Amino acid sequence: MVDMWELDSQGIEERVAFQAQVRDLVWRETKRRMRYLGFSEQEGPATPNALAPTSAAAKAVHLMYLEVATEVGSAARDLAVDAATRAGRAGASYADLGEAAGMTRQAARKRWPEAVGTHWALYLLTGKSRPHGMAVRVFRSSGKAVETGRTAVDEGALADDGAVGAVVINSAREAVWACYFNDGTWAPEEIPLPEDLQTVPAPGSPEHGDWLHKWGQFIARNP
C-alpha cells in the first residue's frame, strides 16, 4: 500500500479530494434510491448521519448506503482487472502493476494472474495492390497465432483485401515466424526474415513505421 506519509502535500490533497468525490457519488446514488424506502430526494436526510442513530429509518438508509458502496467497489475491481490486462499486454510487469496499485509484485500477480505473460502479436499484411493494409491481433499462444496467420494468408487469395503475408512477434519484439502467399504453389509458404526485419520496433515509433514498410517490400519481392 502507498504510505500517506510518503506523499507530498499536493498528493495528499489530491487523494483526499478524490475520496470526497467518491463519497459524494455514493451518497447521491443512495439518495436516488431512497424512493424505495418511501423517501423522495427532497424529503430524505441531507447527510448519512442526519437521522437518529438508532432509528429504523437510519438503519434502512445506512444499509442502502452500504449496498451502493459495495457496488462501487465491485465496479472498481472490474475496472482494475481491465486496466491491469491492458497494461500487461502493453508490456507492463507485475512490479509495474503492483506499484500502480499500491501493492507488492507478489500481490499483483495473485490478484491478476492472467494480466502479464508472454504474448504474441500477429501482423497481417493485407491487400493485393499497394498501398497494403495492416491488421494486428494479440494471442496468448504462439501456436494459435501461427495457425491464425497461416489460415488468413491461405484464405487471403480469395479476396482482393485478403492477407498476403503474416508474421508472429513475441513479447520481446522478435519475429518468430513468417509466411507469405506463394503464387506459384498457390498456398502459404513459411519464409525466413532477413536480419533487419527480425527485431520489430515498438508500435507508435518512427522505426516501427519503417519496419512495416520494409516488411511490405520484402513480401512483395517474393514470387
Q: In this structure, how many other beta carbons lie within 10 angstroms of the beta carbon of residue 117?
A: 11
* CB neighbour class for 202 (10 Å; exposed up to 12, middle 13-18, buried from 19): exposed
Section 148-162 average pLDDT: 89
CA 93 to chain centroid: 13
Q: What is the pLDDT of residue 47?
A: 79
| 127 confidence band (pLDDT: 50, 70, 90) | confident
Model confidence over 36-55: pLDDT tens digits?
A: 777 765 666 777 777 788 88
pLDDT at 7 over 60: no
pLDDT at 2 over 60: no
Section 154-181 average pLDDT: 88
161/135 Cα distance (integer angstroms) = 11
Model confidence over 71-104: pLDDT tens digits?
A: 999 999 999 998 998 888 777 888 889 999 999 9
pLDDT at 159 over 90: no
